[in-house]
A and B are shown apart, each in its own frame.
Chain A
């Protein structure tokens, strides 16, 4: 992901996309579809929902391209949009709380195929949505507790608590014999 962090868009593509050129938009989409979808999937743990978040992210980003300064890497800006869209969807669950179909359960089978990846991916998907978002944003995307708190409209201590509990649960699920039951882990942490 490090190469992505520093990837800048050429000015011609950016200018064309700002003007609504669909080929330029597609070129940007092709370059970033995988990281955006991956991020959305890790936060949502649901393929269809991740697909919706990805769509919303690109729609929103293309509509706001004029706000992006072309002299900086594009991914941090786009990632911010993707994270915001994902978290807004989390919030939207409250709006749709009477519609069970709009709050899907995490996928039971993740697309990963490698041995350890499957276990970790499945464990991540089992976390509650907020805890999953906190652990992913902090441990993978490098957000600080302050940034997470601001994004979620919560306190830093809330973010820290969520992270601590999420890590404890993950460790317990990944290595139950070493960790004891999740409840014991929660008490210890």
Chain B
């Protein structure tokens, strides 16, 4: 039996002695490009009319879903069903392919980060009104992500918007 404290300490020491790893050489250029894209994204760029319309729709959806109980699902199961539908739509869009420029990638990253942050809070044991509010927020963010992904196949100009 080797489960005493010294053995555990030894395992920790061996883990700490694992060698450090170097990232690929092209890592910095990729980060640099994303930094520049993000800066461009924080300047307001006026997109084409079609895109503007879709973003207005996404924003409206966000407001709509943000107003708990106004017109949207009234309980957790309904929010979850809405989330699953949007995730399914994202999966379809993901399979459709297309080219995403740096600005769009930055925005999508940002949205995905926000969704993951909401998921973290949900995993933290949110319940009742708080859970409902978080689920509504999740649906809102997913809606915006779907709108953004839906657009990139049709647009020809780089685009940015500020949430």
Interface residues of A (CB under 8 A from B): 1, 20, 22, 25-26, 29-30, 33-38, 41-42, 47, 50-51, 54-56, 58-60, 62-63, 87-89, 91-92, 94-95, 98-99, 111-112, 114, 116-117, 120-121, 124, 135-136, 139-140, 152-154, 167-168, 170-171, 175, 178-179, 188-189
Range of interface residues on chain B?
A: 35 or more
Given contacts A55-B34, A95-B87, A153-B125, contact A120 B116 (CB under 8 A): no
Decide yes or no whether B67 CB sits under 8 A from chain A: no
17 cross-chain CB contacts under 8 A: A33-B22, A37-B22, A56-B113, A59-B38, A62-B35, A88-B117, A91-B119, A91-B120, A92-B112, A99-B91, A136-B15, A139-B11, A140-B12, A140-B16, A154-B123, A167-B11, A171-B7
Interface of A is mostly: helix
A90 → chain B closest CB, angstroms: 9
Contact indicator A117/B22 (Cβ below 8 Å): no
A98 partner residues in chain B, CB cutoff 8 A? 87-88, 91
Docked complex Cα distance between A121 and B17 (Å): 10
A117 close to B18 (CB less than 8 A): yes
Q: Which residue in A87, A114, A170 is a CB contact (below 8 Å) of B11? A: A170
Q: Does B157 contact A (CB under 8 A)?
A: no
B15 A139 Cβ-Cβ under 8 A: yes
Contacts of B35 in A (CB 8 A): 22, 25, 59, 62
